[in-house]
Amino acid sequence: MSSQNPVFIPGPTNMPEVLRKAIDMPTLDHRSPLFAEILHPALAGVKRVFKTTTAEVFIFPCTGTGGWETAITNTLSAGDRVLAARNGMFSHRWIDMCQRHGLEVVVVDTPWGEGLPAERYAEILAADTGHTIKAVLATHNETATGVVSDIAAVRQAMDAAAHPALLLVDGVSSIGCMDFRMDAWGVDIAVTGSQKGFMLPAGLAIVAFSRKALAAVETAGLPRTFFDIRDMEKGYTANGYPYTPAVGLMNGLKVACDMLLAEGLEAVFARHRRIAEGVRRAVFAWGLDLWAARPELYSDTVSAIRTPDGFDANRFVTLAMEKYGVAFGTGLGELSGKAFRIGHLGSLTDVMTLSGLATAEMAMADLGLSIQLGSGVAAAQDYYRSEPGSVRMAAE
């Protein structure tokens, strides 16, 4: 695979050169004052991207999965009940993690392609008059199905039931790309990673705790050592970490926040929305459909494309890689072999996207699908011409 071709997987995403250079730095003593000049600006930048003024941010040298574990182990105890919908592979994995930690999960099985069932949440929470449910888990953007859910509606359901449970949100493939309002939506813990909207390699779990979540830490009984935010708080107070941090990635995160904020978060969201809509226009021009059930559920970071019955979508992904050197996402879980995914998030432009759409057309035609070469590209071109955006990302 040529390293010059952009990737179209839903993460890790393409990296701007300025970020590649930011993480490529000499060894720095992470216990020296120099590290504080990286740490505190990175924490402050993340808070602005999360749209919070009151939460505390913690950055762990791991991936988003470590962020999930940070959220549950710092706030819950063995035997606690949590509420979660299973509407895709990543919500399924979070449920599995909770069960492995000895939590009782009230699972709302939801068709893959649908969003979080806020009305069903409201019913369950209203019936839980003893407030035995301690947390509600919500996947903002289900990366496996290309479905975005309404987190504000989940919070409204909780408030309507006057339920005191914590709201824990997986924003791994949404934060930094789509509007996310931690304070306004009443999110208690938000989780993301470095390899999606922040356009960095995998290696950082980025987690924010509300004041309510911080209070729950003191009574939580699940074991944690590496993920104990109390140790991290002490480290931050001394301008360091309780162990060795990923200094280069932290420097990259500081610069990534600067880039996103310089472009303007609303402009970042609009760019993702525009690029995603071009991809959707291409998919429909091919005569195919998305796995997301309705337009209001369409994700602006990843599209899961439903392939015809009898066609193995995994063959498409393999051929695109082997013949054209371009990476697309495979279908996961229930979608394996039934869908392929186009990631359109992070460092991406209209022109880069068109190259991915052209490659997808060639690979599908090679495999015998009835695809008119150029049809999807033309549909996207027409849209991008009528909805022009900025030619460059800020500071790139």
Neighbours of 195 (CB within 10 A): 23
Residue-level pLDDT at 392: 53
Residue 385 Ramachandran class (φ > 0 left, ψ -120 to 50 alpha, else beta): alpha
* Interior/surface letters 151-187, b for 16+ CB within 10 angstroms, e for the rest: bebbbbbbeebebebbbbbbbbbbbbbbbbebeebbb
**What tens-digit pLDDT sequence spans the chain (396 residues)?**
456 899 999 999 999 999 999 999 999 999 899 999 999 999 999 999 999 999 999 999 999 999 999 999 999 999 999 999 999 999 999 999 999 999 999 999 999 999 999 999 999 999 999 999 999 999 999 999 999 999 999 999 999 999 999 999 999 999 999 999 999 999 999 999 999 999 999 999 999 999 999 999 999 999 999 999 999 999 999 999 999 999 999 999 999 999 999 999 999 999 999 999 999 999 999 999 999 999 999 999 999 999 999 999 999 999 999 999 999 999 999 999 999 999 999 999 999 999 999 999 999 999 999 999 999 999 999 999 998 765 555 545
Q: What are phi and psi of 27, to 5 degrees?
A: -60, 135
The separation between the first and the last C-alpha atoms of the chain, rounded to the nearest angstrom, is: 24
Q: Which CATH architecture has domain 265-386?
A: Alpha-Beta Complex (3.90)
Q: Cβ(41)–Cβ(254) under 8 Å?
A: yes
Q: Could you tell me where in the chain the CATH 3.90.1150.10 domains are found?
A: 265-386
Q: Cβ(85)–Cβ(117) under 8 Å?
A: yes
Report how far residue 103's alpha carbon sits from residue 93's, in angstroms, rounded to the nearest whole number.
14
Contacts 24+ apart (CB under 8 A), 368-376: 369/307, 369/308, 369/311, 370/287, 371/286, 371/287, 372/286, 375/282, 375/285, 375/286, 376/281, 376/282, 376/283, 376/285, 376/286
Q: Tell me the CATH number for domain 17-261.
A: 3.40.640.10
pTM, full prediction: 0.96
On the CB side of 138, CA atoms within 13 Å amount to: 31
CB-based contacts of 82, cutoff 8 Å, min separation 6: 72, 76, 98, 103, 104, 105, 106, 133, 134, 135, 136, 137
108 beta partners: 85
Q: Could you tell me where in the chain the CATH 3.40.640.10 domains are found?
A: 17-261
Tokens of 45: 């930048």
